[in-house]
């Protein structure tokens, strides 16, 4: 089970409203390489890991990803809070407003809703861990694209933090993958 | 170490509280200290892969924010060691270090719960129900 801590993993305090950036950042919540997909990927794959090491690592990283989904949602909330209808229209966010008002809904940057088809569970630890490594690299690349799209330090700080977490997660998955290959585990 | 080239919370005032490096933590040669690790999002210097050579500094502007930041830093340090230990289960030194930071983080959370508002559902005796009496994390720190 899980217990909630009423805090973020990393502070987010965005002072400048920016609906356009919200429209881009939402992909890290509900896009193919987003945090929600990451959390569900690892938390579903963990059951078929061959040993306690794999079960532990996927549980712990999957849990951290839930916290990252909360961080991305926090950014979306703060970037759009108090935005006028005019600002929504200007940013091309009026379609999102029509469907969801000021609510936070997981889609990619083009408005395509989140789907479980973004991740796989094969039951094969090497196949699953390969996907996990690729997913971390794709999320890292997406964070770099987002970092290139803004110069607001209130956004750059949490985006850089989250990007760096992809680096660490990739490393841990790779260590486990290499160990399983060496042991001939499948 | 990367140059701190941007103030994160530009309404904050005193940078020295945070960039002060605690000597004890520096004894751990293969890790950066808790504050630096938190700002980087990575406590392992050999795994650190920055983008555009940027890290961001932030300084709390009151006691509540200072304590919350300290909780985040210590929890993060413990969490990083947790992930490391999942793969390297016999590293006694890191297990001790995990316990040190995990204990510190738990103690700070209890202190925050008492002084300010609940982070965890623990020891909530007030009426009305204290869990609802404080802002939610997405509403700002």
pLDDT digits (tens, 9 = 90+) for A107-119: 999 999 999 999 9
pLDDT at B54 over 80: no
Characterize A116-128 residue by residue with b for buried, 16 or more Cβ atoms within 10 angstroms of its Cβ, and e for exposed. Answer: eebbebeeebeeb
Length of chain B: 141
What is the arithmetic mean of pLDDT over B21-46? 80
Select the residue from A66, A170, A171 to test the B interface by mutation, using most B Cβ atoms within 10 A: A171
Q: Which pTM value belongs to this model?
A: 0.91
Nearest residue of A to residue B80 by CA position? Answer: A168
Q: How far apart are CA B9 and CA A157, in angstroms?
A: 10
Q: How far apart are CA A128 and CA B7, in angstroms?
A: 40
C-beta of residue A147 within 8 angstroms of C-beta of residue A160: yes
CA angle A22, A138, A109 (to 5 degrees): 25
pLDDT beneath 70, residues of chain A: 186
Q: Any CB–CB contact under 8 A between A174 and chain B?
A: no
- Please report which confidence band the pLDDT of residue B3 belongs to, taking 50, 70 and 90 as the band edges: very low
Average predicted confidence (pLDDT) for chain B: 82
Which of B17, B13, B19 is closest to B32 using CA atoms? B19
pLDDT at B55 (0 to 100): 73
Chain A nearest CA to B1, separation (Å): 15
Select the residue from A5, A42, A133, A147 to test the B interface by mutation, using most B Cβ atoms within 10 A: A5
- How many C-alpha atoms does A163 have within 13 Å on its Cβ side? 26
C-beta of residue B43 within 8 angstroms of C-beta of residue B29: no
Q: Any CB–CB contact under 8 A between B83 and chain A?
A: yes
pLDDT at B140 (0 to 100): 82
Average predicted confidence (pLDDT) for chain A: 97
Q: Any CB–CB contact under 8 A between B136 and chain A?
A: yes
C-beta of residue B112 within 8 angstroms of C-beta of residue B119: yes
What letter does residue A102 receive in the DSSP assignment? T
What is the arithmetic mean of pLDDT over B14-22? 39
- Using a CB-CB cut-off of 8 Å, the residues of chain A touching B56 are 153, 156-157, 160
The pair of three-digit structure tokens given for residue A118, joined into one six-digit string: 């973004």
C-beta of residue A21 within 8 angstroms of C-beta of residue A150: yes
The pair of three-digit structure tokens given for residue A26, joined into one six-digit string: 């939402």
Q: Any CB–CB contact under 8 A between A121 and chain B?
A: no
What tens digit of pLDDT does each residue of A67-102 get? 999 999 999 999 999 999 999 999 999 999 999 999
- How many C-alpha atoms does B30 have within 13 Å on its Cβ side? 7
The verdict on a CB contact (< 8 Å) between B140 and A78 is: yes
The verdict on a CB contact (< 8 Å) between A147 and B120 is: no
What tens digit of pLDDT does each residue of B100-114 get? 999 999 999 999 999
- DSSP-assigned beta bridge partners for residue A107: A113
pLDDT at B1 over 80: no
- DSSP-assigned beta bridge partners for residue B7: B57
Q: A167 or B3: which carries more pLDDT confidence?
A: A167
| Cis peptide, bond prior to residue B128, ω within 30 of zero | yes
Select the residue from A161, A170, A174, A175 to test the B interface by mutation, using most B Cβ atoms within 10 A: A161
Work out how many CB contacts closer than 8 A connect A with B: 123
Task: List the domain boundaries for chain B.
Answer: 4-139
Beta strands in B44-118 (DSSP E): 55-57
| Domain at A19-183, CATH homologous superfamily | Ferritin, core subunit, four-helix bundle (1.20.1260.10)
pLDDT at B52 (0 to 100): 86
Chain B nearest CA to A122, separation (Å): 22
What is the arithmetic mean of pLDDT over B112-140? 92
* Distances in whole angstroms, Cα of residue A185 to Cα of each of A42, A51, A128, B17: 19, 9, 13, 49
Q: B23 exposed, middle or buried (CB, 10 Å; 0-12, 13-18, 19+)?
A: exposed
- Using a CB-CB cut-off of 8 Å, the residues of chain A touching B119 are 5-7
pLDDT at A63 (0 to 100): 98
What letter does residue A46 receive in the DSSP assignment? G
pLDDT at A93 (0 to 100): 93
């Amino acid at each position: 089970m899980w217990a909630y801590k009423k805090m973020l993993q990393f502070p987010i305090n965005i002072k400048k409203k920016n609906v356009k950036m919200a429209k881009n950042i939402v992909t890290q919540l509900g896009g193919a390489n987003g945090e929600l997909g990451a959390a569900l990927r690892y938390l579903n794959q963990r059951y078929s890991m061959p040993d306690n090491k794999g079960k532990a690592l996927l549980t712990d990283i999957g849990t951290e990803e839930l916290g990252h989904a909360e961080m991305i949602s926090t950014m979306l909330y703060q970037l759009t809070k108090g935005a006028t209808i005019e600002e929504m229209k200007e940013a091309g966010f009026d379609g999102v407003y029509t469907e969801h008002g000021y609510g936070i809904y997981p889609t990619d940057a083009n408005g395509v809703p989140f789907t479980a088809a973004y991740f796989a569970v094969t039951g094969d630890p090497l196949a699953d861990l390969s996907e996990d490594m690729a997913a971390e690299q794709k999320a890292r690349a997406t964070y770099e694209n987002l970092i290139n799209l803004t110069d607001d330090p209130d956004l750059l700080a949490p985006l850089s933090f989250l990007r760096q977490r992809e680096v660490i997660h990739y490393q841990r998955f790779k260590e486990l993958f290499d160990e399983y290959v060496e042991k001939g585990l499948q | 170490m990367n140059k701190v080239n941007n103030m994160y919370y530009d309404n904050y005032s005193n940078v020295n509280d945070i960039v002060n490096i605690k000597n004890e933590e520096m004894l751990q040669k293969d890790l950066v200290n808790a504050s630096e690790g938190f700002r980087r999002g990575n406590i392992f210097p050999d795994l650190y892969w920055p983008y555009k050579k940027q890290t961001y500094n932030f300084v709390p502007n009151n006691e509540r924010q200072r304590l919350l930041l300290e909780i985040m830093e210590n929890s993060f340090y413990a969490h990083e060691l947790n992930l490391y230990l999942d793969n390297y289960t016999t590293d006694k030194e890191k297990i001790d270090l995990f316990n040190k930071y995990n204990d510190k983080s738990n103690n700070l959370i209890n202190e925050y719960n008492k002084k300010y508002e609940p982070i965890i559902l623990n020891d909530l005796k007030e009426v009305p129900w204290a869990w609802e009496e404080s802002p939610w994390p997405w509403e700002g720190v």
